[in-house]
Structure 1
Amino acid sequence: MSQLFNTSYSWLFKYGYRIIPKRSLVKDAIQELFLVIWNKRDTINEARSVRSYLITSLRRIIFRRLEKQRNRSERNYDYRESFLEDEKNIEQSIISHECSNSQKEQLKIAIEALSKRQRQAIHLKYYRGLSNNEIAEVMSINKQSVYNHVSKAIIKMQNVVEQ
């Protein structure tokens, strides 16, 4: 076995290096080839051409290793992308939550700055979803007064938020 290794290593290396010019990969593939031969020495049939058997086996091992590397690289890339995407989603969620809380606080302050009638008109319009006619009925005022209360309330709220 060692004699086969010593006499074939050089030309196997040259052959493997032509397939893929990576010294360490070719060396490892040759080592794996002879390890497989050693482990299966009792079950391997006698080959018609030892050289042909070694070349074919080495080529299979090299291509298998390249395929594993490619698959590993793809998995690593996919993992890295999904991790970055998850990280972006978490970060975006935190930012969105903080913005939402900040906006809610600003809205609360702005609503507190309104008069009682303006606050009631805004509440009925935006929180209860009533139309201007319905608001006019509930507040016992005319439709134009509803427009006035809502528009003045919005302007006042904008001013409070901008400060």
Structure 2
Amino acid sequence: MKEANSDTLLWNAFQGGDRDAFASIYKNYIDELLSYGYRVTSDRQLIRDSIQDLFLHIWLRRENLATTDSIKFYLFRSLRNRIIRNSEKHHETPRGDIEALADLADEYDAFESAISLADGPSDSYEKLADAVNRLSSRQREAIQLRYLHGFSPDQIAEMMQMNNQSVRNLLHRAISQLRLFFETAGGLLVFLPALQNFQGR
């Protein structure tokens, strides 16, 4: 509730034309927006352009925007829609970047923090990234939204334009596939407790 109230106050200040509030919103979420963008498309320029368009749009239309108690959810949903619209203009189909987790060091850190892993073998994180990359693009996107960014199944359903049960099924299948990979790969038992906790959420 405290975070929601803080978001509401910051958003209200931004809508009132407070440039510092706008700068705070940008600073607070730009890294996460870039990270999430790679789950929607592999086109880095499209991601950058879409984020620029998004922030320009909300500043120019700030007085007419709906109120929100979750700035993060508002921005993620808006970015996903904008990437899809911009890609359609260029006759491109957005797709997940299957190498994003392996290529981007910040995503290693985010994923490691999200699942609270104990120290494991030196190559464990590379194997984890490989396991995630074996998932479908929609499974990877749902996993990231749920466990890296903390969105609820209801919020993910709205963002991905799916119903709640479909999102839960998607997450369940993804976690089951990851657990199967870890169980058959050997030497990765350190990940299993975290995955079991995931499946129960």
Fold match by TM threshold 0.5 = no
Q: TM-score, normalised by structure 1?
A: 0.42
Q: TM-score, normalised by structure 2?
A: 0.34
More helix by share: 1
Select the structure of larger CA radius of gyration. Answer: 1
